Amino acid sequence: MPTTTDRQLIVSTFATLDEIRTWVHPVVRGRGEPIFAGWPETRWRLAWWSSLPKGVMILAHRPESS
C-alpha cells in the first residue's frame, strides 16, 4: 500500500499521466482506504484489458479527450 508521501507524489503528478494500469485481484480483505481518494477528478476510458489464468484482471485506462 502506498504511503502518504507516495500518494502525495502521485497526486501531484496526476495531470501528466497518459495511462493508468491497475491489476485487480479476486480477493476480499476487509476494509481499506480507497485507492484514488483525493485525486483530481478526471474522466477515464478503458483502453484495453487482459485476464490472467488465476482471475487477475489487468486494466489500462486513459483520460478521455475533452
What phi and psi values does residue 16 have, to the nearest 5 degrees? -95, -5
Which residue from 53, 55, 46, 52 is spatially nearest to 21, judged by alpha carbons?
46
Q: Structural domain boundaries of the chain?
A: 17-29+40-66
Q: What is the pLDDT of residue 5?
A: 64
Place of cell 483520460: 63
pLDDT tens digits, 6-56: 666 666 666 677 888 888 887 777 777 776 777 777 788 999 999 999 899
